Homo-oligomer: A and B are copies of this chain.
Amino acid sequence: MLRAATRLLRRGGLAAAGVNRIVAESGAPKGSLYHFFPDGKDQIAREALAAYAERVAARVRERLEPMMGDPAAVVRGFFAMGAEAARRSDYALSCPAGAVALDLEPDDAELRRACDGVFARLADELVAVLAVLPAARRAPFAGLMVSTMQGAYIRARAARSLAPFDEAGEQLALLVPTLRATTTQGNRR
């Protein structure tokens, strides 16, 4: 059921993940939804996002850990993962956290934090596989990668093209030598 919720969230954000559609697509028992998720839709979305965070973090580590010695390869590999997800779903599936974040009403504080948690979890994983970079550079660069990945999902869907992923991977990889060369004391401003 959480799996169906995640897929619908990835497809069209909060709006597409109606409770009726979730139970319909999941084939799960319809009456038991509010038994396991007493708080309703918000709780489903929250837990789906939390589960997604762990799953995607694990996949990132599994796939990028072998390239730890070559940060540029890590960058390219990261965006290749996004491209693959987009291609395999014919541009239907994006990151659920991104889709939800843009659907948020200002009062959905918990859901907002759940989205933030996904990004934070992802950035942490990237920091780990970017260990070769100077310490002070890792976190901002990981954040940049996460942001760019979210945007690439958006643009890829709009253009029905994988170019945004390739574009992002190639160019952010170009940034790696600069990040390696610059020591902490050499930071701009």
Contact = CB atoms under 8 A, between A and B. Distances in A.
Given A147-B148, A174-B178, A178-B178, A13 B167 contact: no
A12 B171 contact: no
Q: Chain A: interface secondary structure?
A: helix
A14 interface: yes
A143 B157 contact: no
Contact of A174 (B143, B154, B159, B188): B188
Contact of A147 (B91, B143, B151): B151
Interface residues of A, number: 56
A146 B151 CA distance: 7
A102 B157 contact: yes
Interface stretch (A29-37, A39-47, A59-67, A103-111): A103-111
